[in-house]
Structure 1
Amino acid sequence: MKPAIEALIDALGEQAVVHGAQVAQRATSYWDASPTQALAVVKPRATDEVSTALEICHRYDQPVVTQGGLTGCVQGAVASSEEVIISLERMNAIESIDPIGGSVTVQAGVTLQALQESAREHDCLFALDLGARGSCTIGGNVATNAGGISVMRYGMMRSQVLGLEAVLADGTVMSSMDEVLKNNAGYDLKHLMIGTEGTLGIVTRAVLRLHPLPRSCNTALAALTSFEAVTQLLTEMQRNLAGTLSAYEVMWNSYYQAATEPGGHPPLLDREYPFYVLLQAEGADHERDAALFERLLEGALETGMIIDAVIPKSEAERRALWDVRENFEAMLAGRTTFLYDVSLPIREMDSYAEAVRQRIVARWPTARCIQFGHIADGNLHLFIQPGSEDADHLASDEAVYSPLLEVGGSVSAEHGIGVEKKAWLARSRSDTELKLMRSLKRAWDPKNLLNPGRVFSL
């Protein structure tokens, strides 16, 4: 046993340090069921134990990898056999909720869904929402600056964070646990942590914004014939719903076909339309909001902007609509799939999506290029399934990223860089930006022990 592991056990106890053959009993990630590889998995119960663990690892020059809910898509939390995992899974307390001030204080291991449900009990809304809500954790959401389905109305995770506590590479605790929205007293250091994927410190606690819980929720799935109609409907809904439009999810026919194939979801609309939009508005007056929502959809049907639509009449029916968009495991099962998360100007999205499709089919004639996304915030997701023994990930990357960069897009909208996208980071950020990133890393983690090799290499 390495001296660092012995020191961790001595300081934190056997129950807090999983090592030896037990490590392999953990799955690598949500996406990869293969056994975890690591020297040990440390499971602290509080910030002081995270501090102790990092101080020991710093003393022994032991690299560490932070893990939350393991739902990340870029392998940023996947450890090597020479790294120690620090898992925040036992730090899962919701410490306090202040409905009057509109804030909640949580530990980093709290799942997004647990926080949403707890906020609801206090007649409040925690606005971040994404399909992995049942597994992803607040610490991971902060570390990756998570986005999801409500960004167009409430912003990214960065917009939800009032205060933050994090432990630096040498065990120093940085506490900026503000509960106020306005604090311009010098540098706002918490923002240097948000979105840095655990490379500058480990987030342990956070103070987050809450909003009043909406009184109405109106949802519809609509079919459209063109991307121009998709953008027209978005503009009309944003203009006429007076800021209550909270989700606008677009599915290309390729996605809807895959989602409703045998073994998937029952089709709620005909499967042959070019585009499908799942939209949702949340407001304050149930009857008035429902009447306005339905009147706007009827007007869009009359003008031909949309050609078919379904409005759920119960919570179960509403959930069935969202299941089509959020639960896509069936279309991935048994197929080699490369996942992408990009952003670009909405005006370029239709031509970009078609350019990628053509490149993929030219390389693999039987491939599936499945496209969908949040769209209103410029975020497009792609599942590339080559359907060939020649499933070359690099060739797929080239097909997706090369036309993206031509239109000023980003290789990561909300999933981060991790390991998978490192080779493309320099195409999305300038030399000056990369030099500043490395300067921050060297200043805050001079031994390069926190998530080394993630985002960029030193």
Structure 2
Amino acid sequence: MMKRDDLDTASLLAELLDALGPSAVLAGDAVPERNRNDYSGLPATTPLAVLRPADTAAVSAALRICQAHGVAVVPQGGMTGLCGGSRAGSDEIALSLERLVGIEELDAASATMTVLAGTPLQAVQEAAAAAGFFCPLDLGARGSCSIGGNLATNAGGNRVIRYGMAREMVLGIEAVLPDGTVLTSLNKMIKNNAGFDLKQLFIGSEGVLGVITRVVLKLWPKPASTMVAICAATDFANVLALLQSARQNLGPLLSAFEVMWPQYWDFATGLVRSPFAGDDVPHGAYVLIEALGTDAEQDAPRFEVWLETLLDQGTIPNAVVAQSVADGRAFWAVRDATGELYQHFPQHMAFDVGLPIARMDDYVARCRTQLQETFPGSTTLFYGHIGDGNLHIIVWQPGVDEQPKKQVEQIVYGLVREYGGTVSAEHGIGTLKRQWLGHARSQEQIALMRTLKTALDPRGLLNPGKVF
């Protein structure tokens, strides 16, 4: 984007410097590399300036000044997003929350934690654990992603089947509106029906309605036991039978149910050791199951007896249970081999979709067939958090200078719409999926989103061009 001819940049920066201080305003060559791009794969951009406010009052002042000058502001957290939602153009201001870091309070009586929005997720997890609690939200980018960004995108992760998405973990929020108004509702109560639940406006809205600055998180008891197993399945019907059995027999202990189709399994076990040592029989699918309990003496035997019963009955063809923490990590390493994808499939296309669980395997079969017929020799990998309806897809066409992104998206998202799914299960919309939003939301729903946007941001200056 070109810089606006009518913008008095010097006056704007001078006013921001006066309000925030020199350490909080970076422009020109001083713009850090980290603020130029996220993980979307889109070209890097250099914003007009990067603001690094140190508290909520400074966030408010920054938004108020930018609003007065008619300059767009793009909120930034850990910059780990995959859809371009935090990229600022050359005539836009990047508002980085990297200095809003810290645990303000851990209230053991209410089992809550009050956290500044720029705090890395891993720091939140560690603070909860040190106090004897558990923060169940977990992502591969835990060391870099910020809790504010997690909430702005309504992050999911590995344990949604038990704990829900990020929005289920939030009791209170402080957010700054586009005009600088501070909306503080740091509620700690689970029951609070006094009017609208306004925090839900900001969770999952990707920073287009307001900037989250503080949050009250709900905490859980720290697990006393962790059980992990890898199971083979004959086909997807067998996977569904295993899921139903896990829900019935493990109940609230079930925390993760991850499914890998054979092509992904072969890729992953080519990089890390297969848990099924000596089992060369191909299976229709592979399932990683995790259960978190509160009784170290009884939980593990109960888990093992359940799996042994399934094996004895012939319900599943094979299973192996982690006997140590190291085993559990090794099992998860198979599922997390996605970290090696860029090395083996450069410039591959990655998709995060949601589908009705019962129809997922049919979707996979049709999607793979269409992709292979359209792009012979392409790599197609399918895996995901199937217990919550989230499917991840990897597509890579070898021997080409540029991946056929548009054509692949038409196949992947066209089938998603046909199957009544969503084009984004946990990564958000940003800019990359904006044109596909209508495949998952009706015109009436999108119109209401625009109405809310107009009400809170009538000039359209907060994270413009994102979501819709």
Same fold per TM (> 0.5)?
A: yes
Correspondence list, 1:45-60, <5 A: 45-60=54-69
State the SS of the aligned residue for 1:250: strand
Q: Does 1:380 align with 2:391?
A: yes
> Who is 2:25 aligned against?
17
State the SS of the aligned residue for 2:15: helix
Which one of 257, 261, 267 corresponds to residue 258 of structure 1?
Answer: 267
- Cα deviation for residue 175 of structure 1 reads 0.8
Conserved 8 A contact 2:72-2:92: yes
> Who is 2:14 aligned against?
6
What is the CA deviation profile of residues 149-178 of structure 1, one whole-angstrom value per residue up to 9, with x for unaligned ones?
111111111111100000011111011110
For structure 1, which segment, 324-333 or 411-420, has the greater mean C-alpha deviation from structure 2 after superposition?
Answer: 324-333
TM-score, normalisation: structure 1: 0.96
In structure 2, the CA distance between the partners of 1:192 and 1:246, relative to structure 1 (3 Å rule), is: same
> Who is 2:228 aligned against?
219
Q: Does 1:273 align with 2:283?
A: yes
Conserved 8 A contact 1:283-1:289: yes
Where do 5+ consecutive residues of structure 2 fail to align?
Answer: 1-8
State the SS of the aligned residue for 1:66: strand
Q: Does 1:131 align with 2:140?
A: yes
CA distance in 2, matches of 1:212, 1:340: 34
The amino acid of 1:315's aligned partner reads V
Correspondence list, 1:83-232, <5 A: 83-232=92-241
In structure 2, the CA distance between the partners of 1:2 and 1:301, relative to structure 1 (3 Å rule), is: farther
For structure 1, which segment, 422-431 or 27-36, has the greater mean C-alpha deviation from structure 2 after superposition?
Answer: 27-36
- Cα deviation for residue 10 of structure 1 reads 2.0
Which one of 351, 362, 373 corresponds to residue 362 of structure 2?
Answer: 351
The amino acid of 2:285's aligned partner reads F
State the SS of the aligned residue for 2:189: coil
Q: Does 1:318 align with 2:328?
A: yes
Conserved 8 A contact 1:337-1:385: yes
Conserved 8 A contact 2:250-2:303: yes
What is the CA deviation profile of residues 397-416 of structure 1, one whole-angstrom value per residue up to 9, with x for unaligned ones?
11111111112111111111
CA distance in 1, matches of 2:29, 2:254: 50
CA distance in 1, matches of 2:13, 2:231: 56
- Cα deviation for residue 3 of structure 1 reads 2.6
The amino acid of 2:50's aligned partner reads V
CA distance in 1, matches of 2:283, 2:101: 44
In structure 2, the CA distance between the partners of 1:406 and 1:33, relative to structure 1 (3 Å rule), is: closer
- Cα deviation for residue 103 of structure 1 reads 0.5
State the SS of the aligned residue for 1:110: coil
> Who is 2:5 aligned against?
none
Conserved 8 A contact 2:414-2:439: no
CA distance in 2, matches of 1:156, 1:143: 12
For structure 1, which segment, 106-115 or 33-42, has the greater mean C-alpha deviation from structure 2 after superposition?
Answer: 33-42
The amino acid of 1:25's aligned partner reads E
CA distance in 2, matches of 1:152, 1:424: 26
Identity of aligned residues (%): 46
- Cα deviation for residue 99 of structure 1 reads 1.9
> Who is 1:413 aligned against?
425
Q: Does 1:428 align with 2:440?
A: yes
> Who is 1:395 aligned against?
407
In structure 2, the CA distance between the partners of 1:364 and 1:40, relative to structure 1 (3 Å rule), is: same
State the SS of the aligned residue for 2:126: helix
State the SS of the aligned residue for 2:386: coil
> Who is 1:439 aligned against?
451
The amino acid of 1:117's aligned partner reads E
Where do 5+ consecutive residues of structure 1 fail to align?
Answer: none
State the SS of the aligned residue for 2:388: coil
RMSD between aligned alpha carbons? Answer: 1.6
State the SS of the aligned residue for 1:243: helix
What is the CA deviation profile of residues 434-457 of structure 1, one whole-angstrom value per residue up to 9, with x for unaligned ones?
11110110110011111100001x
The amino acid of 1:149's aligned partner reads N
The amino acid of 1:153's aligned partner reads R
CA distance in 1, matches of 2:308, 2:141: 33
CA distance in 2, matches of 1:42, 1:322: 38
- Cα deviation for residue 260 of structure 1 reads 2.8
What is the CA deviation profile of residues 157-216 of structure 1, one whole-angstrom value per residue up to 9, with x for unaligned ones?
111110000001111101111011111111111111111000000000000101111211
Correspondence list, 1:302-313, <5 A: 302-313=312-323
What is the CA deviation profile of residues 74-114 of structure 1, one whole-angstrom value per residue up to 9, with x for unaligned ones?
11111211111111111111111112211100000111111
